[in-house]
Structure 1
Amino acid sequence: GPEVAGATYSALDGDVNPLRLLAALRGAVTALGGRIETGARVNRVSPVSGGGFDLALDGGGMRRAGRVVLCAGLGSAKLAEQLGFHTRVRPQRGEMLITEKIRDRLPVLSSTIRQVNEGGIQIGGTKADAGFDDHESLQIMSDLARHAVAVFPALADLRVVRAWGSLRVMTPDGYPVYARAPEHPGAFLVTCHSGVTLAPMHATALADWIEGKAEAPDLEMFDDTRFALSDAA
């Protein structure tokens, strides 16, 4: 539109359908011999004498593991304290719109507006500190729609069919946390936003680091002790 001063383009840009990505991830875990348990809420992680960890579940269940990776999103902080981590996380609400399904109309992607493979136009990009309230708001939905039409006037005739809010997992400085517990070998903490964007690194360098196959000094720069140091300063 005439109010847009300019744009950037990269032929390497792409996007993924999160529902299909989740299905593929579950299939890959199962194919590699992993087991996914749903409804198994961990309320305590306890180091075991001689190595390993006991995981206490709501309802009285128990699991034992030789290695533990805490990646429970906004629920990570409580469990992390039990293993000596110092991380803090907070929710940040984002809101999204999706339009009715249409034929191809947006041949390019942007960071906040894209046409998904089913045909709808997905519009987002908001950030709000609203605690754990994940409800969408009329004002923000209206602002999103106006912004989308300003950037892509060809969207003006479309109907919005769904809107929702969701909570991002944010650290105090907005960067990920990759940490290992100094007093409990085999315990790791992984907390981040932009998990899809970071997935290639998580599947390679991060996985090798957790398995002890390789050192990763660049990852260790994201240790959660940086928050304790900033508090002391």
Structure 2
Amino acid sequence: MEFIKVNEAYAKHIALIELNRPKELNALNLQLMGELRDTLKALDDNDEVRVIILTGNKKAFAAGADIKQMANKTAIDMLKIDQFSTWDQIRKTKKPLIAAVSGFALGGGCELAMTCDMIIASESAKFGQPEIKIGVMPGAGGTQRLTKAIGKAKAMELVLTGRFISSEEAMSYGLVNKVVPVEMYMHEATSLAKEIANMSPIAAQLAKESVNRSFETHLDEGLTFERKNFYLTFSSEDQTEGMQAFVEKRKPEYKGK
């Protein structure tokens, strides 16, 4: 891997992915996104990994897409490149995915953070969809996920002005889970990952799937989907262990089976 670093054993049952184009502020080029897609697929298939943390560095999570790769393209060129198929695969990651964001998370960087399930931000984090300033618009989910996260009025404002928002403002809108000092954001993301990794990985994946489905269905359909996943947990050894441990007043030992 040239543009990402991977630690499959960052902590017990936790993998860490670091975007690694520091000179370009982790701008998301096609190769980086392909490496990220392939890595997430491999970690999904790794039974030892239960939670994944995605991060950049203190200066930038990702400052946007690599504009140099797109500046001279035509609509047909972009259609043939089909870069968004990679994003679609990343979106399908089954395991809980936490974005640890410091510095710039702009354009594609903001969209990538929103593709994750949770966001821990440092006090220096800046979020935004500034594509309008270069004559285009978000194309990797910015108009859709941002609207679902913070509502129409604020999403419209940010998309149409390209304004950046601070981590505190992002938290006030419900875009991020927590804001901490820069020196603590990886610690906080790791603490959250450890808490989730202690749960049944089967239940966690089914719960993630159910929460995400709520954005795609009406209430009745969503409730039906939730109930089916709830019933499915009762076919796992983890369910037996979890309930037995509760009765016996001890800590459960989940095996992901």
TM-score, with normalisation over the residues of structure 2? 0.25
| Largest Rg, 1 or 2 | 1
Question: Of Structure 1 and Structure 2, which has the larger fraction of its residues in helix?
Answer: 2
Q: TM-score, normalised by structure 1?
A: 0.27
